[in-house]
């Protein structure tokens, strides 16, 4: 049996004419990336595609440095190196996308969210910029393991809004960080221990904007992996489908 089973899909939704989301699944690297592009004239599509492919290239070169985590997951120094690899990958994509926009006025202001999952045996390394999300389902429970980099999320954290008030607040999707909007971006990283049976869901806001409650996602994640993403996309489209919708589900079989 393979160490991981994964499946991903992206859907344009019911309103948009172009899909500016992008994703990559690479089981050989244990690497999974979702990116949601922003910017006019299809620049968002360019930004998201550049992000996912450049992150994979960086991780492919650098991942051998942390292979020892597969046999020694509690090596804190190696965990730190793994986090540095994801920060470096996302920062390199940021610099590239920002440079492209500077030299092509049709791409001015383009950027993308990026949620990255890198699996190394009993360790999952997370990288996050923007408002795409990663959830972890384990033993009948589910949790969002990334923070949203949005104005609304910041106001909730600071006690200025309650989660209920945030549901109806204007400018819900104004993000405070994006890959490529500037030469540098602050990247959130964390390390999570994994166990057999874990399921990760990576998704763009075109999904979680319509399926907001983790408890609604949980029973769907118990379906066969290849059915999960289509079921979630169908729900998002039924409820409006105003944005592109992208989802990846990854199941851990052995660590």
CA distance 51 to 35: 7
Q: What pLDDT shows up at residue 131?
A: 97
The pTM for the full model equals 0.95
pLDDT, tens digit only, all 255 positions of the chain = 568 999 999 999 999 999 999 999 999 999 999 999 997 667 999 999 999 999 999 999 999 999 999 889 989 999 999 999 999 999 999 999 999 999 998 888 899 999 999 999 999 999 999 999 999 999 999 999 999 999 888 887 887 777 777 777 777 778 999 999 999 999 999 999 999 999 999 999 999 999 989 999 999 999 999 999 999 999 999 999 999 999 999 999 976
Q: What is the CATH number of domain 4-252?
A: 3.60.40.10
Residue pair 177/185 in contact (Cβ under 8 Å)? The answer is: yes
Q: Provide the strand spans (E) within the chain.
A: 4-11, 21-26, 31-38, 111-112, 114-120, 123-129, 133-138, 141-144, 188-193, 199-203, 245-252
Listed by start position, the domains of the chain span 4-252
CA distance 253 to 90: 27
CA distance 197 to 29: 19
């Amino acid at each position: 049996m393979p160490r991981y089973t994964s499946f991903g899909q992206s859907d344009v939704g019911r309103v948009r004419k172009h899909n500016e989301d992008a994703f990559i699944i690479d089981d050989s690297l244990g690497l999974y990336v979702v990116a949601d592009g922003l910017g006019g004239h299809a620049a968002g599509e360019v930004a998201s595609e550049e992000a996912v492919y450049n992150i994979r290239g960086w991780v492919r070169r650098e991942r051998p440095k942390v292979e020892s985590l597969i046999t020694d997951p509690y090596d804190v120094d190696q965990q730190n190196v793994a986090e540095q690899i994801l920060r470096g990958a996302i920062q390199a994509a940021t610099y590239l996308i920002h440079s492209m926009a500077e030299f092509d006025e049709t791409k001015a202001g383009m950027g993308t969210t990026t949620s990255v999952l890198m699996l190394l045996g009993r360790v999952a390394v997370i990288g996050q910029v923007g408002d795409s999300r990663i959830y972890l389902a384990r033993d009948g429970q589910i949790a969002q393991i990334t923070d949203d980099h949005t104005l609304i999320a910041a106001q909730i954290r600071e006690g200025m809004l309650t989660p209920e008030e945030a549901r109806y607040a204007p400018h819900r999707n104004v993000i405070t960080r994006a890959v490529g909007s500037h030469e540098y971006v602050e990247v959130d990283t964390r390390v999570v221990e994994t166990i057999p049976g874990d399921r990760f869901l990576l998704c763009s806001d075109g999904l979680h904007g319509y399926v907001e409650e983790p408890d609604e996602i949980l029973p769907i994640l118990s379906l066969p992996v290849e059915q999960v993403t289509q079921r979630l996309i169908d729900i998002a489209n039924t409820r409006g489908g105003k944005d592109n919708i992208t989802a990846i589900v990854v199941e851990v079989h052995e660590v």
